[in-house]
Amino acid sequence: MNVAHANPAQPSLPKKGIYRILVCRPNHRLGNMLLLTPLITELEHTFKGAEIDILAEGAIAAEVFCTSSSVKNIYCLPKRGFKHPWAFLALLLRIRKTRYDLIVDPCLGSNFSRAMTRFLDGRCKLGFAERLDGSGLTHAVPPAVAMPHMAKRAINLVRWVTGRDDDGFPPMDIRLTALEHEQGQRLLAGVLPQADRPTARPLVGIFANATGAKRYPLAWWREFIATLTQRLPHASIVEFVPMHGQSMLDSAWPAYYSSDIRRMGAVMAAADLLVSADCGVMHLAVASGVPTMGLFCVTDPAVYEPYGHDSGALHTGALSAAETADKVVDACAGILARASAAPVAASGQGAAPHPVTGPAPARDTPAVAALPQQPA
């Protein structure tokens, strides 16, 4: 059980009277925005009926949270915003006009996030700090109790001061709508060869891009896929092409590309399994609801591993590509067996749909406030 402990040195955060919440996460990276989605779910569960604003950086947050019914305003600071100080300050002053009942700084060790939290107006301010004095917070959680996983530590931050206990953690979730799921299934089926569509089970997606040393070379992926297809002779392989629009697998497999984050997530969600190097798109996959196996060779899986939706991580370490493929197949045996046994859609358009809870409720799109993207 994940038991939260209120800090006896300060009053617990009230569960009543919290209606206006600001989450302060001024960052532009896709992975970091996706890792924030469980916190939004936790705040919704803890402060029912509250309205949430998000302070982020760049335009990605608007795409990630556009179907979150509790989110009202998404304030998008530009990248390198300090090069436009007057417009930057004008947006912050606009946000400061709202007195929030709660401002949450979920970061551990970010001076920028803490500076924004100090500047903005909030009755209660929550974050990680060794002590209240000089922290700019009204409720400080000791960094020593922060959980390793970035998404879970933000949840634990809230539970520590509210005393809320739960047996699990909300998964990452971009809340794809029923229409987005339907379109994703159709688009993914469309990239498969016509002859393969009726028997394309299981359907395994591969995302082979990552930054720096986290990226596996083409020869490694060729060996990985050769072993994967040997173990799964009836599987269909689809490459998901990265944002720069170039195949990482030498265009050897059917591929799907989109620069639209939500569309890419919806198409990934139509696969039976997604295998990805450690990167933001790995988080996009699991946040879209597809079982995801993340491959780690540099960073610590305890901090970034996919969780929820039968997802997991594998530290490749000294493993060869073939050994890695064997371990992926063994770890995902249940997922692959269910996919192979599932009935094919009557239309013959590939994989049967993943369960969808229904269309998203009618709502207003969150208001997005951003500074003009001026040339550097």
Rounded distance, CA 361 to CA 376, Å?
Answer: 40
pLDDT, position 7: 56
Contact 287, 269 (CB under 8 A): no
**Average pLDDT of the residues of the chain:** 88
pLDDT, position 195: 54
Rounded distance, CA 102 to CA 117, Å?
Answer: 10
The length of the chain is: 376
Rg (alpha carbons) of the chain, rounded to whole number = 22
pLDDT, position 196: 56
- The answer on pLDDT for 145 being more than 80 is yes
CATH 3.40.50.2000 fits 178-341, yes or no: yes
Q: What is the pTM of this model?
A: 0.88
Residue 283, judged by CB atoms within 10 A of its CB (0-12, 13-18, 19+), counts as buried
What mean pLDDT comes out for the span 281-292?
98
Query: Which of 12-16, 157-161, 338-342 has maximum average pLDDT?
Result: 157-161
Rounded distance, CA 125 to CA 145, Å?
Answer: 18
User: pLDDT higher for 89 or 20?
Assistant: 20
pLDDT, position 352: 43
CATH fold group of domain 20-173+362-370: Rossmann fold (3.40.50)
49: phi > 0 → left, psi -120 to 50 → alpha, else beta; which? left
* pLDDT cut 90: percent of the chain above it: 73
Confidence of residue 200 (pLDDT cuts 50, 70, 90): low
Q: Examine domains 20-173+362-370 and 178-341 and report if their fold is the same.
A: yes
Q: Where are the domains of the chain?
A: 20-173+362-370, 178-341
Segment 146-149 long-range contacts (CB within 8 Å, at least 24 positions apart): 146/108, 148/300, 148/302, 148/303, 149/302, 149/303, 149/304, 149/305, 149/307
What is the four-CA torsion angle of 267, 345, 361, 292, rounded to 10 degrees?
-40
- Spell out the residues 6+ positions from residue 309 whose beta carbon is closer than 8 angstroms to its own: 171, 286, 289, 290, 291, 292
pLDDT in tens, 315-345: 999 899 999 999 999 999 999 999 988 755 4
Confidence of residue 20 (pLDDT cuts 50, 70, 90): very high
Contact 59, 47 (CB under 8 A): no
Confidence of residue 88 (pLDDT cuts 50, 70, 90): confident
